[in-house]
Structure 1
Amino acid sequence: MKLFVCQACGNVLYFENRTCTRCGHGLAFLPEKASMSAIEPEDETFRTLADGGRGRVFCANAAFDACNWLTDAGERYCRACRHNGTVPDLSDPVRLACWRELEAAKHRLFYSLLRWNLPVRTRAEDPEHGLIFNFLADDPARGQRIMTGHDNGLITIALTEADELERERRRLEMGEPYRTLLGHFRHEVGHYFWDVLVRDGGRLNACRTMFGDDSMDYGHALQRHYAEGPPQDWRENFVSAYAAMHPWEDFAETWAHYLHIVDTLEMAAAFGIEVRPSADRIGGLSAQIAFDPYGAESLDAIVAAWLPFTFAMNSINRAMGTRDLYPFVLTPAVIEKLRFIHRLVQDVAKPRGR
Structure 2
Amino acid sequence: MRAFACPHCSALVFFENSVCLTCGTEIGFSRAERTVVRAQGRHRCANRRTATCNWFADGPGALCDCCALTRTRPADDDAAGLAAFALTEQAKRRLLYQLDDLALPVVGRDAGRGGDPRGGLAFDLLSSTHEPVTTGHASGVVTLDLAEGDAGYRERMRVQLAEPYRTLLGHLRHETGHWYWEVLVDRPGRNDDFRALFGDERESYADALERHYSSAPPGGWEDRYVSSYATAHPWEDWAETFAHYLHIRDTSQTAAAFGISVQGPLDAREDLTSEPHESEKDFDAIAAAWLPLTYALNAVNRSMGHADLYPFVLAPTVLDKLRFVHELVVARPAYVPVSPPA
TM-score by length of 2: 0.90
Q: Percent of aligned positions with the same letter in both sequences?
A: 45
User: What residue in structure 1 maps to residue 53 of structure 2?
Assistant: 67
Does residue 297 of structure 1 match 2:281?
yes
Cα-to-partner distance string for 1:241-296 (whole Å, 9 max, x where unaligned): 00111000000000001100000011101111122xxxxxxxxxx22542659542
Residue 74 of structure 1: how far off its partner (Å): 7.0
TM-score by length of 1: 0.87
Structure 2: runs of 5+ lacking an equivalent: 335-342
User: What residue in structure 1 maps to residue 306 of structure 2?
Assistant: 322
Cα-to-partner distance string for 1:188-236 (whole Å, 9 max, x where unaligned): 0000111112111221221111211000001111011111121111100
Instruction: Give the conservation status (yes or no) of the 8 Å contact 1:214–1:246.
Output: yes
2:9 partner letter: C
Cα-to-partner distance string for 1:24-54 (whole Å, 9 max, x where unaligned): 11111011232111232xxxxx2xxxxxxxx
**Match among 316, 321, 331 for residue 332 of structure 1:** 316
SS at match of 2:281: coil
User: What residue in structure 2 maps to residue 188 of structure 1?
Assistant: 175
User: What residue in structure 1 maps to residue 65 of structure 2?
Assistant: 79
Runs of 4 or more consecutive aligned structure 1 residues displaced over 4 Å after TM superposition = 291-295
Tell me the number of residue pairs that the alignment of Structure 1 and Structure 2 aligns.
Answer: 323
1:199 partner letter: D
**Counterparts of 2:307 and 2:170 in 1: how far apart (Å)?**
16
User: What residue in structure 2 maps to residue 34 of structure 1?
Assistant: 34
How large is the Cα RMSD of the aligned pairs?
1.8
Residue 70 of structure 1: how far off its partner (Å): 1.3
**Match among 130, 143, 161 for residue 156 of structure 1:** 143
SS at match of 2:123: strand
Instruction: Give the conservation status (yes or no) of the 8 Å contact 1:131–1:155.
Output: yes
Instruction: Give the conservation status (yes or no) of the 8 Å contact 1:272–1:289.
Output: no
Choose 131-140 or 228-237, whichever is displaced more: 131-140
**Match among 178, 192, 208 for residue 205 of structure 1:** 192
**Counterparts of 2:318 and 2:76 in 1: how far apart (Å)?**
41
**Counterparts of 1:246 and 1:78 in 2: how far apart (Å)?**
36
Structure 1: runs of 5+ lacking an equivalent: 41-45, 47-55, 276-285
User: 1:75/1:115 Cα in 2 relative to 1: closer, same or farther (>3 Å)?
Assistant: farther
Residue 136 of structure 1: how far off its partner (Å): 0.7
SS at match of 2:48: helix
**Counterparts of 2:15 and 2:307 in 1: how far apart (Å)?**
25
Aligned pairs (5 A) from 1:251-266: 251-266=238-253
Cα-to-partner distance string for 1:102-146 (whole Å, 9 max, x where unaligned): 001100000101112211122223333331100111144xxx321
Cα-to-partner distance string for 1:278-333 (whole Å, 9 max, x where unaligned): xxxxxxxx225426595422101100000000011112212222121111111110
**Match among 73, 77, 80 for residue 91 of structure 1:** 77
**Match among 123, 126, 132 for residue 122 of structure 2:** 132
User: What residue in structure 2 maps to residue 52 of structure 1?
Assistant: none
**Match among 80, 84, 106 for residue 92 of structure 2:** 106
Instruction: Give the conservation status (yes or no) of the 8 Å contact 1:132–1:154.
Output: yes
